[in-house]
Structure 1
Amino acid sequence: MTKLLLPLLAASALALSACGSDSSSTDTSTSASTADSSDDSPDLDGREFLSTGVKGQTLVEGTKIRLEFMDGAISANAGCNSMGGDYVLEGQTLAVGPMFSTEMGCEQALMDQDIWLAEFLTSSPTVALDGDVLTLDGDGTTIEMLDRESADPDRPIEGTLWVVDGLVTDDAVSSVPGDATASITIIDGEAMVETGCNNAGGSVEVAETTLTFGPMMMTLMACPPAETELERAVLAVLDSVVDYEIEADRLTLRRDTPDGVLGLDLTADQ
């Protein structure tokens, strides 16, 4: 699903954006102050941080704040929508321009948390970076954060049980049908696959960004429709060369086909 991008011009605008329908993105651009950052500004570019504690604001249970800084743009998430905008560091002050947000329908508490975070980030908080620890302070609120690679390191591709939780066709992601379960484990050049219906296995060559699957042997059980649908989706991806990317406990698999891109989204089993 393509999520609508809207300029976050006011808190009330985001609070009313509670639909999840497909839509095209708006063509609006904004920028933060163009002032040059000072020499004593912390270098945040290319880094991602996760919150470890917040003073002055209570986060919704089970949520964290995620901030990423890349090429003068900041992206943020607090458990519901993804937000973004331009930023510049003016000494120890973080100046963020008007922000954009995806338009997802979430619980009201999560949407309120989105609004709060956007307002905080655009209020020119001060920042301090000490190694992997980032502190943002402003409006009576202090957010302590830790570099994502330290707080939630990438899981290894081999030796991890990866459970399928999303089926990808081009830009659309659908959930796993019914109560079916599929997973992949790679050990010593062998892939062990639970397809959702049958068990399969075969050789796999692991490179830096690709997996090359050989022919698989598979049991031949007959299964209900949901499990069969999942099996077809899994086997359609695990064929020949597949691009992969790992971030923390998330694995994405993508394969180009004559009919478009097929893929799987997976989570490391804890």
Structure 2
Amino acid sequence: MRYQLSISVTALTVLALSACGTQSGAGDGGEGGGSVQPDVPVNGVHWSVDSVTVDGSKTEAPAGAHVEIDDKGRAGGNYGCNHFGADVKIDGDTITVGPAEMTEMACDKKVQGFEEALRAAFAGTLKAKLTDGRLTLTTETGDSIALTSEPPSPLVGTKWTVNSLVSGKSATSLPAGTENKAHLTFGKDGSVSGSLGCNRFTSTAKVSGDSITLGRLASTRKLCQGPEMDLERELVKVLDEGTVKYELKHRSLTLTASNGKGLAAVAAETSGEK
């Protein structure tokens, strides 16, 4: 299923979770008769979703699920497959999330189940608790979302896992059964290597501005099943076109060839991450 990329996800600039003000009475030792707890600032943060707990049942999040909130009262991110956007209002430690819009890409059944849980939890009135870079959002019914602040991933040295295909302004999910099989890594020595979903490949990669000039692909010649070969053919249309435009947003990477074909990828988890 195709969807139109119409949601712009803005990088988080400021999110302040204010502790409720407390008034000190006589005998509290509060000079001037009262004090107010300071705000807890969280600036420039990308919140990676670790898990969602519904009715006491915890479900781990797929790679790429995240939430970002900008200083204009807009939240955006990825439910695990589809992108979303929603208006938000922050008042102290309370975050109120309005109705969300989302893309409509077909997803793996397991991921779709997680998306439904996250979409239901990240809505309405939520209580926020921040501890050592970890954020917990709790609904009025006691369900919760666990999130962790993450630094951006660099283009070079990161293993980028392909999670969708791009054609012009539209994108499609990967062929069924090929999820997490295609990936690429740009090396410090000017190389790029990885998997096309079936065969492994290597090439050269020269980064200049927002473009990457790729050399001719060299790959193994293994025969694969239909969906894997379908994915491989689509990726070759991107990576064997010479020069591609790249867009790096925190832990997401998009490569687009001059023919309009492209791929979207997310930074793979490393040891020590969720």
TM-score range, shorter chain: 0.5 to 0.7
Counterpart among 60, 65, 68 of residue 62 in structure 1: 60
Cα deviation, residue 45, structure 1: 6.6
CA deviation after TM superposition for structure 1 residue 263, in Å: 0.9
> C-alpha separation between the residues in 1 aligned to 2:53 and 2:200?
49
What does residue range 153-192 of structure 1 map to in structure 2 within 5 Å?
A: 154=153, 156-170=154-168, 171-176=170-175, 183-187=183-187, 188-192=189-193
Number of equivalences: 228
Structure 1 residues 75 and 59 mapped into 2: Cα distance closer, same or farther (>3 Å)? farther
Contact 2:253 2:264 in 1 (8 A): yes
- 1:198-246 deviations in whole A, cap 9, x for unaligned? 7654432235643222x32646969679576555433332222431426
CA 1:44–1:104 in 2, change beyond 3 Å: closer, same or farther? farther
Work out the CA distance in 2 between the residues paired with 1:196 and 1:104: 20
**Residue 240 in structure 1 maps to residue 238 in structure 2:** no
CA 1:127–1:222 in structure 2 vs 1: closer, same or farther (change >3 Å)? closer
**Change in 2 beyond 3 A, CA 1:205/1:133:** same
Equivalents in 1 of 2:58, 2:163: separation in Å? 23
**Residues 185 and 228 of structure 1: CA distance in aligned 2, closer, same or farther (over 3 Å):** same
Code of the aligned partner of 2:261: L
Deviation sequence 1:177-200 (CA, Å, 0-9, x none): 887965534331123465567765
User: 1: distance between equivalents of 2:178 and 2:51?
Assistant: 35
Closer, same or farther in 2 for the Cα pair 1:86/1:42, shift >3 Å? farther
**Cα 1:75–1:196, aligned 2, differ >3 Å: closer, same or farther?**
closer
Partner of 2:124: 122
Range that drifts further, 174-183 or 231-240? 174-183
- Is 232-241 or 218-227 further displaced after alignment? 218-227
Q: Quick one: distance in 1 between partners of 2:183 and 2:78?
A: 27
Residues 202 and 247 of structure 1: CA distance in aligned 2, closer, same or farther (over 3 Å) = same
1:132 maps to 133
Q: State the distance in 2 between where 1:179 and 1:189 align.
A: 28
- The two structures have a TM-score, normalised by structure 2, of 0.58
Residues 41 and 266 (structure 1 numbering): CA distance in 2 closer, same or farther, change over 3 Å? same
Partners of 2:255 and 2:264 within 8 A in 1: yes
Cα deviation digits, residues 34-88 of structure 1 (max 9, x gap): xxx9896555575332345667743553337732202310136555654432122
Q: Is the 8 A contact 2:3 2:172 kept in 1?
A: no
DSSP 3-state at the match of 1:216 = coil
CA distance in 1, matches of 2:247, 2:5: 26
Letter in 2 for 1:254: T
Structure 1 range deviating more: 85-94 or 63-72? 63-72
Cα deviation, 1:101-139, whole Å, max 9, x if unaligned, reads: 445675785465246314xx312x333445623343452
Residue segments in structure 2 that go unaligned for 5+ positions in a row: 8-16, 20-37
Q: Distance in 2 between matches of 1:172 and 1:252?
A: 11
AA partner of residue 89 (structure 1): I
Q: Is the 8 A contact 1:41 1:89 kept in 2?
A: no
> Letter of the aligned partner of 1:146 in structure 2?
T
Supply the distance in 1 between the matched residues of 2:44 and 2:183 (Cα, whole angstroms): 32
Secondary structure in 2 matching 1:175:
coil
2: CA distance, partners of 1:198 / 1:56: 40
**Against the structure 1 CA distance between its residues 100 and 211, is the aligned structure 2 distance closer, same or farther, given a 3 Å change threshold?**
same
CA 1:133–1:168: 2 relative to 1, 3 Å:
same
**d(CA) in 2 for partners of 1:164, 1:77:** 15
Give the aligned partner of residue 216 of structure 2: 216
Residue 116 of structure 1 aligns to a residue in which SS? Answer: helix
What SS does the aligned partner of 1:236 have?
Answer: helix
Q: Which amino acid aligns with 1:252?
A: T
Task: Note if contact 2:68-2:77 (Cα within 8 Å) is conserved in structure 1.
Answer: yes
CA distance in structure 1 between the aligned counterparts of 2:55 and 2:92, rounded to whole angstroms? 25
SS in 1 for 2:121: helix
Tell me how far apart the structure 2 counterparts of residues 231 and 80 of structure 1 sit (CA, whole Å).
20
Task: Show the 5 A alignment for 1:78-117.
Answer: 78-79=79-80, 82-103=83-104, 110=114, 113-114=117-118, 116-117=120-121
TM superposition shift of 1:252: 2.7
Contact 2:3–2:105 (CA under 8 A) maintained in structure 1: no
Question: Where do 5+ consecutive residues of structure 1 fail to align?
Answer: 6-24, 26-36
Deviates more, 1:159-168 or 1:238-247: 159-168
